[in-house]
Structure 1
Amino acid sequence: MTDSVKVSVLSDYPCELGEGPSYDHRSDALFWFDIVNRKLLEHKFASGETLVHDLPWMASAIASVDDERQLIVSENGFHLRDRKSGKLSLYLALDEERENTRSNDARVHPSGAFWVSIMGKEDGAVKGSIHWMREGELRPLFDGILIPNSICFSPDGSTAYFADTQAQKLWRVPCDSQTGLPRAEPQVFVDGKEADGGIDGAVVGSDGTLWNARWGGSRIDAYSADGALIRSIAMPAAQISCPAFIGRDAGKLAATSAWKGLDEEGRAKDRLAGQTFLLDLPVKGRLEPDVLI
């Protein structure tokens, strides 16, 4: 059973594949992507305006570096973005020899390490992987994941989570809180095969609650630190892709969605598909850490 929470439209821009929402406390703005259409979106809370920035490649995640720069993860690498001008410059290549892959889910560990995932441009076409990047060093962590998602971390950095949407499993793995590197093999945290929708993007709050978007399930699920489902929030679009904490106190949730794969009839039925939503639900979130480069 899902809880009834007021959900409003934060941005009505219809992303074919809305993903990677990340709140930037320096500018009080939410950034996210329309991956397949090569767009970076920026919603300014002070004015309520949503800006759409064109990109030269598919990209899926963004993190803060400092007051002047952000770091974007794309299909061919990590790119620095100048906050004032929007100018992009390659920082580190990522799997650039594979033209049939792109970046997908990613998040910054409390240590400043960036966990990023790679998958096929066509869902499930090739096996994907998860990598660790910090201060210019790149290491492979896990492979054989068809659709890697749900990368997020416990507040103290001692636990990492990730999922394979295709396999309908969400794992957790002990981490070194100082480096963000795994210390043991992953163990199943949630087996979602019996539930509607696929395990997609996730974020963990300051209280340890994991908020998970259910692609195709029209909801966001919340799990306690021991893996118990504690609530489900009904959403006004079927393909909810990823939640993010927003506000300088990280006290609210926003969520992206997608119309990818829907025909004309499907889009008519799911008329808010691809839009980005604000949940009228107080949460104990936390701000994203800066990535170390």
Structure 2
Amino acid sequence: MTSTAGLATVVVGGGYELAEGGRWTDGRYVYVDILSGRLFELHDDTEPAPRQLARLDIPLGAVAPVGDRPDMWIAAAGTGIALLTADGTLEWLDRPEDRTPVPSRMNDGVADPAGRFWAGSMAHDGTPGAGSLYRTDPDGTVVRVLDGLTIANGPAFTADGTTMYLADTAAGTILRCRVDPASGDLSGVPETFAQLRDGEGSPDGMTVDEEGCLWVALWGAGAIRRYHPDGPLLRTLAVPAPHPTSVCLHPDGNRLFVTTARYGVKRPTTTSGAVLSVPVPVRGTAACSWRGRR
């Protein structure tokens, strides 16, 4: 089923170059503007007045809350993973992309139900195969889990933490990975969950709803897709911006939040680079926290 964009409303006006990483946590919606290194929160989506929480001098790909440490985040930023304090200070855990053969940066990331933080990377120039997926364990160790990706995007987990979906945006591929919740290790080789064809857009940010279905933002297509966990496409939702970048389902309000980008849009409109809200018939869950012991 395909729905039109008529029901989409603008929560925060356009202007973000590359808004991404939308998450619902602690009664607020948080998101980043990657290229400007900014982190925002929005407490009430009916009042479009986001508050800037931090501004870095490096790209900020995504954040997740740190358990039991209010106003602290674990961040995929610049070339690595760091703890981000309320005053904007970064405490680096590791900078693995400093050791790559081509200039690269961190991209999207999310915490899993077991309290680990997963984040992808990409080359600045999109070099094929230069991206990786990293896992940050509770002791602060950063482990490269997968390599050979191009633009690692949108990690999303099922509620039990046994399945992770991962997009390789440039390849048009959504992978499904089996995860051992106890160790964080992947079980077997990731399988292709969905392969998008030319003209269908590129998979970007993702989330899993309360029914276990996968929602995917389609960069370049102005659309959101919802997939059944067995693979069939259930719904395509059109949005009034060509580059939707992330999706976040409100845990209580049957609303889908969508970040978008002005980056790469030849004729941007007021909705390019905006945060949108769309009514949907399902709910999501609040973002998981990184349960670090540092």
Is 2:111 the counterpart of 1:112? no
Is 2:256 the counterpart of 1:257? no
State the match for 1:149 in structure 2. 153
1:244 partner SS: strand
Structure 2 Cα separation of the partners of residues 24 and 280 of structure 1 = 19
Task: State the Cα distance separating 1:96 from its structure 2 match.
Answer: 5.0
Describe how 1:1-293 pairs up with structure 2 within 5 A: 2-4=2-4, 6-25=7-26, 28-45=27-44, 48-52=48-52, 53-65=54-66, 66-68=68-70, 69-82=72-85, 85-97=86-98, 98=100, 100-124=103-127, 127-135=130-138, 136-194=140-198, 196-247=200-251, 249=252, 251-263=254-266, 266-267=267-268, 270-293=269-292
How many residues are aligned here?
Answer: 284
Q: Give the % identical residues.
A: 27
Residue type of the alignment partner of 2:191:
Q
Task: State the Cα distance separating 1:129 from its structure 2 match.
Answer: 0.4
Structure 2 Cα separation of the partners of residues 253 and 118 of structure 1 = 26
Alpha-carbon distance change, 245 to 88 in structure 1, aligned in 2, over 3 angstroms = farther
The two structures have a TM-score, normalised by structure 2, of: 0.90
Structure 1 Cα separation of the partners of residues 89 and 281 of structure 2 = 35
Structure 1 Cα separation of the partners of residues 129 and 228 of structure 2 = 32
Residue type of the alignment partner of 2:4:
S
Task: State the Cα distance separating 1:48 from its structure 2 match.
Answer: 4.2
Structure 1 Cα separation of the partners of residues 35 and 174 of structure 2 = 25
The two structures have a TM-score, normalised by structure 1, of: 0.90
Structure 2 Cα separation of the partners of residues 12 and 271 of structure 1 = 7
**Deviation >4 Å, runs of 4+:** none
Task: State the Cα distance separating 1:4 from its structure 2 match.
Answer: 3.1
Once the two structures are superposed, what CA deviation does each residue of 1:1-35 show, in whole Å capped at 9, x if it has no partner?
Answer: 6213611111114111111111122xx22111111
Task: State the Cα distance separating 1:150 from its structure 2 match.
Answer: 2.7
Residue type of the alignment partner of 2:228:
S
Residue type of the alignment partner of 2:109:
A
Task: State the Cα distance separating 1:91 from its structure 2 match.
Answer: 3.7
1:36 partner SS: helix
Unpaired segments ≥5 residues, structure 1: none
Alpha-carbon distance change, 108 to 172 in structure 1, aligned in 2, over 3 angstroms = same
Contact 2:13 2:270 in 1 (8 A): no
Structure 2 Cα separation of the partners of residues 155 and 262 of structure 1 = 35
